[in-house]
Amino acid sequence: MTIAPAPWLGPLLLVSFWGLSAPASLLRRLGEHIQQIQESSHLGLGLSLGPDDVALPKVGWLEQLLDPFNSSDRRSFLQRYWVNDQHWTHQDGPVFLHLGGEGSLGPGSVMRGHPAALAPAFGALVISLEHRFYGLSIPAGGLDVAQLRFLSSRHALADVVSARLSLSRLFNVSSLSPWICFGGSYAGSLAAWARLKFPHLIFASIASSAPVRAVLDFSEYNDVVSRSLKSIAIGGSLECRAAVSAAFAEVERRLSAGGAVRAALRAELGACGSLSRSEDQAELLGELQALVGGAVQYDGQIGAPLSVRQLCGLLLGGGDNRSHPTPYGGLRRAVQIVMQSLGQKCLSFSRAETVAQLKATEPQVSGIGDRQWLYQTCTEFGFYVTCEDPMCPFSQLPALPSHLDLCEQVFGLSASSVAQAVAQTNSYYGGQTPGATQVLFVNGDTDPWHVLSVTQALGSSQSALLIPNASHCLDMAPERPLDSPSLQLGRQNISQQLLIWLTLAKDSQV
């Protein structure tokens, strides 16, 4: 059953109610915040819609099987999608299918950034599909483990197939129309895997910042962060990298001092929970690492609270005491800026409170979906960022066992089962040699996630584009006059690749 599109519900659905008492991964909060800003700013939806655009975009709902791999199970849920048909010139024109990932998907997904920016040139119908168990596409019955069994990349790909067939009928799309998948980050991996597993339905894919290799211990993340902090091209320097290490060393010194010194640190860095336990200290250090990593991962993006240049400026000369600037003072100021930007009262919580929130099986009002994403990391991907290498500029905490312990405490999954799941994912999809044809992998070398993606062409029909000094999914963001020449060239290369594919599709119909 397909439920036809309703009129655009307006920007209300873009609003996410950040629970001030609910712990959530800082990196995930940053990603959701940046997405919302890009969708609702003057460069996104907001005030830029003209009178002819009032009916756009449209929202619709698909009835999807909860368990598409069991024909005797007829339970279903409603999956949200958005449609922009403003540029669709004929029924055999291409369809750009923008896949959602581990968060809510709003109307901006079909209105700004790519693929929407590419649609006018190709006369494309643009559709975005929200991922099951995220945003408003959450099945009834809560988020207990019995329900979460139906949350995986394989289930998501089954939804793509079902949506591809249902939406073709609903919009009377010609059987000759090529479907092109787009996605960024985890959704970028889904885009590549959709072409890999269903080449008869998906003609080609653009996979941006797609971590196709699952990994248990993602120490490489901080390797890239460290290198990027030294990059002069984006405002880093050797001095900045050293200042980061000095700031973290000072945090650790104050944690070890205890008493009034530790209490002052707690107040200065915005820790809601007590810092008396080592596990709570690790939570704080982990959030501080995420703050620095986030400045690198989202460097230069609309809505990002801090760029690498701004962070380095604070660490080297800013802070609270300009007459005697210290790296710690700069880090403290950076925390204040990020917390204010996200509307957060606290930077970190106690480990016990984090676990309690992750155990909650009622869907949250916000679209972040931390419980759901933790489940996917525990059962498919890993992706646990660590800093145990002596060359890592941060604290040695938290370590891999701390991440794996969450899988055990929240879902009852052992460390060995998580490791096995990661290995199975790479075996099923092929890791960094997936073998799919007509996939363009797009990455930025500033982005820590690019080391898990495909950055070199794997044959003539599996292309790769590595954009210098570009951050995570930056090619998908709305275009700006200040975009670097390398980013502009990267987008031109994406458009050129699409032209080649669509010409190939047209020629094959003759």
Which has more confidence, 108 or 349? 108
Separation of alpha carbons 345 and 170, rounded Å: 46
Phi then psi for residue 264, to 5 deg, are -65, -40
pLDDT at 85 over 90: yes
Give the model's pLDDT for residue 273: 77
The model's pTM is 0.92
Catalytic residue among 159, 472, 475, 483: 472
pLDDT in tens, 266-295: 999 988 878 989 889 999 999 999 999 999
Separation of alpha carbons 139 and 131, rounded Å: 11
Phi then psi for residue 42, to 5 deg, are -65, -20
Catalytic residue among 447, 450, 453, 463: 447
Active site residue 472: yes
List the one residue out of 372, 380, 371 whose CA is nearest residue 419. 380
Mean of pLDDT over the chain: 88
To which H or E segment does residue 80 belong?
A: strand 76-84
Active site residue 76: no
Q: State which amino acid sits at residue 128.
A: S
Q: Spell out where 105-260 has E strands.
A: 125-129, 179-184, 204-208, 215-217
Which has more confidence, 393 or 446? 446
For the purposes of burial, counting CB atoms within 10 Å of the CB of 422, is it exposed (0-12), middle (13-18) or buried (19 or more)? buried
- Cβ–Cβ < 8 Å for 372, 133: yes
Pull the structure tokens for residue 69. 């791999």
| SS3 letters across 17-75 | CCCCCCCCCHHHHHHHHHHHHHHHCCCCCHHHCCHHHCCCCEEEEEEEECCCCCCCCCC
- DSSP β-ladder status, 382-384 and 58-65: unpaired
pLDDT at 6 over 70: no
- Cβ–Cβ < 8 Å for 458, 464: yes
Phi then psi for residue 231, to 5 deg, are -75, 115
pLDDT in tens, 190-218: 999 999 999 999 999 999 999 999 999 99
Axis crossing angle, helix 400-411 with helix 278-297, rounded to the nearest 10: 110
Active site residue 324: no
pLDDT at 137 over 90: yes
Phi then psi for residue 464, to 5 deg, are -140, 145
Ordered structural domains, the chain, with CATH: 56-213+432-508 (3.40.50.1820), 216-424 (1.20.120.980)
**Percent share of the chain, pLDDT over 70:** 90
Find tokens 């458009």 and name the residue.
495
List the one residue out of 54, 102, 97, 100 whose CA is nearest residue 80. 100
Catalytic residue among 152, 153, 177, 185: 185
Q: What separation in angstroms does the CA of 323 have from each of 245, 268, 320, 329, 372?
A: 21, 19, 9, 11, 47
Give the model's pLDDT for residue 366: 53
